[in-house]
């Protein structure tokens, strides 16, 4: 909680401390000159002096440069240290917080060189729910191996939380896990040490793109399993190479269900070739149930 309190104005922090349960908050959204919103138990409310409300007229209204203030506190007033991730739309903060950031791009020809005039931020809070992946783990781990598994959910439904717990469970069973934590939100490492529990046998590579992690990890770390968040079509070839090397891959993708995944050409080709053996679909909040499909049923 303290990292969130450091980022937001004291007037926002006071009702969160006094009135809200931190574990039920997944987002704090701030748009300049607009009502401040909180995602609480999977639903959006306005943040107000007494906590949360559906009444927009009671909400805190962000200042005209509120987003910039939050960004500057997130990077400890050193924008140059977060330039590369800002160009990709986010800032990672210790403790696993990630800020989605909107603003104006600065370009040099076709290249994006910086982001300025910050207009809004979405502070996303990680949560560790121990045991939430136990059912998936029971189906994915069999006969001494981990099945290639794709976790499917729309944004904000809990896929990273599920993936984190799966990583912990598999690692604590003694499998050598290589965790590609590209955006510092799964292990939330600070100074080389995970601040969230990802298991005792997990090697973590943070802040590096998936292609490079797959290449170097396979060559030098000898993992049994590679775990990574948010696959895109361009990443499928890296997954395929790992599979042909005898390494299992567990990853996530943004989609509502398996039908949506099959609309993505690279993922359809992966399914047709049997690359993933299990598909775990998370239903949206508030239910957030996990339904597991065998490859043959897709």
Q: Rounded to an integer, what distance in angstroms lies between the CA atom of residue 271 and that of residue 277?
A: 9
The span from the first CA to the last CA of the chain, in angstroms, equals 41
Please name each of the domains of the chain with its CATH number: 2-124 (3.30.450), 134-297 (3.40.50.300)
Instruction: Select from 105, 115, 148, 155 the least CA-distant residue to 244.
Output: 148
* pTM greater than 0.75 (yes/no): yes
- Report the pLDDT value the prediction gives residue 238, as an integer from 0 to 100: 94
Quote the strand ranges of the chain, DSSP E. Answer: 25-31, 37-40, 43-48, 51-53, 90-93, 97-108, 111-124, 141-142, 145-146, 149-153, 177-181, 202-206, 225-228, 248-254, 278-282, 290-294
- Average model confidence (pLDDT) across the chain: 93
Q: Rounded to an integer, what distance in angstroms lies between the CA atom of residue 68 and that of residue 101?
A: 10
Q: Are 134 and 148 in contact (CB under 8 A)?
A: no
State mean pLDDT over 231-255. Answer: 94
Three-state secondary structure call for residue 57: helix
pLDDT in tens, 54-103: 999 999 999 999 999 999 999 999 998 999 899 989 998 887 899 999 99
On the 0-12 / 13-18 / 19+ scale of CB atoms within 10 A, 223 is: buried
- Report the pLDDT value the prediction gives residue 142, as an integer from 0 to 100: 87
Three-state secondary structure call for residue 252: strand
Q: How far is CA 61 from CA 7, 37, 48, 100, in A?
A: 16, 10, 9, 19
Pick the residue with more confidence: 199 or 126?
Answer: 199
């Amino acid at each position: 909680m303290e990292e969130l309190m450091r980022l937001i104005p004291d007037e926002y922090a006071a009702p969160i401390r006094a009135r809200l349960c931190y574990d039920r908050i997944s987002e704090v959204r701030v748009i300049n000159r607009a009502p401040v919103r909180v995602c609480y138990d999977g639903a959006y409310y306005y943040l107000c002096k007494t906590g949360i409300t559906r009444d927009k007229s009671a909400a805190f209204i962000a200042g005209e440069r509120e987003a910039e203030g939050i960004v500057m506190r997130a990077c400890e007033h050193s924008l140059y240290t977060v330039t590369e991730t800002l160009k990709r739309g986010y800032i990672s903060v210790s403790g696993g917080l990630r800020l989605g950031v909107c603003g104006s791009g600065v370009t040099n020809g076709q290249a994006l060189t910086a982001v300025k005039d910050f207009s809004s931020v979405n502070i996303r809070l990680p949560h560790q729910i121990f045991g939430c992946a136990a059912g998936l783990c029971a189906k994915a781990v069999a006969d001494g191996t981990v099945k290639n598994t794709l976790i499917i959910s729309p944004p904000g439904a809990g896929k990273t939380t599920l993936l984190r717990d799966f990583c912990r469970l598999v690692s604590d069973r003694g499998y050598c896990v290589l965790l590609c934590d590209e955006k510092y939100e799964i292990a939330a490492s600070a100074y080389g040490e995970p601040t969230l529990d990802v298991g005792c046998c997990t090697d973590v590579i943070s802040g590096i793109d998936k292609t490079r992690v797959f290449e170097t990890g396979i060559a030098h770390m000898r993992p049994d399993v590679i775990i990574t968040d948010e696959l895109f079509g361009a990443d499928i070839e890296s997954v395929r190479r790992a599979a042909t090397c005898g390494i299992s891959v567990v990853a996530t993708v943004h989609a509502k269900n398996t039908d949506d995944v099959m609309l993505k050409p690279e993922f359809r080709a992966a399914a047709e070739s049997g690359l993933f053996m299990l598909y775990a679909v998370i239903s949206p909040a508030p239910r957030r149930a996990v339904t597991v499909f065998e490859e043959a049923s897709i």
